[in-house]
Structure 1
Amino acid sequence: MAIKKQYLKSKPVCKVTFSVPADEAKAVAVVGDFNKWNPKGSGLKKLKNGTFKGTFELPVENSYEFRYLIDGSYTNDEEADRYQWNEYAGTENAVLEV
C-alpha cells in the first residue's frame, strides 16, 4: 500500500493518491472523515497489474481518519502518518495528515 501527497500551489488542497495492491480483490474503496465513511464514489480503479489506485483532493492543514474497504473488509494502510483509536468502531484507524 502506498500514499502519495502532492500539494497544489494554486489552491489550498493536497492531491492524495492511494495505491493498494490487491490482485484477488473485486472492489477497493477508501473511506474516512473526508467522505463521511461512505464507499460510494470513493472506489479505486483496478489497474492491469492488480493494484487499485485513486486520487482525492483534500483540504490542507487537516488530519483525516481513514481505512480501506477491500471486498467488504476494513484494513489500515501501513504507510499512514499515524494511527488513532476510534471508540465508535472499537479499533484503530489510519490517520492521514495533509
Structure 2
Amino acid sequence: MLERRPRQDRTEVTFVLPADRPPGPVSVVGDFNDWQAGAHPLRPRGDGKRAVTVELPKEATHSFRYLAAGDYWFNDESVGDQDGPNSRLRT
C-alpha cells in the first residue's frame, strides 16, 4: 500500500506492508535509489505494519519493487500500474 503526501516541490511516498508478510527484512528498491537493495528498508511502525517514506519529485513516474530476504522480489499489489515486471508509481 502507498500513502502519498504532496508537498510544495515534492511528494512524500510511504511504502507500507504488513509486519510479517513476507517474513524477515524488506526494502523498497527502484529507479529513485538506483535499484540499490537496502537503501530504503521498511521499519516497524505503531500500527502493526512496517513502512519507509521516500521523497520523490512531483509529477514524475517511478518504477519499483520490494526485495525481501532470500532474494524474493515482489510488486505492490495495491498499485494498478505496471512497468514490465515492476510496479509503477506516479507522484
Separation (CA, whole Å) in 2 of partners of 1:22 and 1:67? 17
Contact kept, 8 Å, 2:29 with 2:39, in 1: the verdict is no
Gaps of 5+ in 2: none
Contact map agreement 1:64 1:97 (CA 8 A) in 2 = yes
Identity, in percent, stands at 33
Q: What's the counterpart of residue 14 of structure 1?
A: 11
The one-letter amino acid of 1:93's match is: N
How do 1:75-86 residues align onto structure 2 when only pairs under 5 Å count? 75-85=74-84
**CA distance in 2 between partners of 1:15 and 1:81 (Å):** 19
Distance of 1:22 and 1:55 partners within structure 2 = 16
The structural deviation recorded for 1:41 is 2.4
Tell me which stretches of 4 or more aligned residues in structure 1 moved more than 3 Å.
Answer: none
CA RMSD, Structure 1 to Structure 2 (Å) = 1.5
Unaligned runs of 5+ in 1: 86-91
Number of the residue aligned with 1:27: 25
SS of residue in 2 equivalent to 1:69: strand
In structure 2, C-alpha distance between the alignment counterparts of 1:75 and 1:60, rounded to whole Å? 25
Q: In the aligned structure 2, how far is the partner of 1:70 from the partner of 1:47?
A: 18
Partner SS for 1:30: strand
TM-score by length of 2: 0.87
Q: Rg bigger for which structure?
A: 1
Q: Is the 8 A contact 1:81 1:96 kept in 2?
A: no
Q: How many residues are paired up?
A: 88
Q: Please show how residues 87-98 of structure 1 align to structure 2 within 5 Å.
A: 92-98=85-91
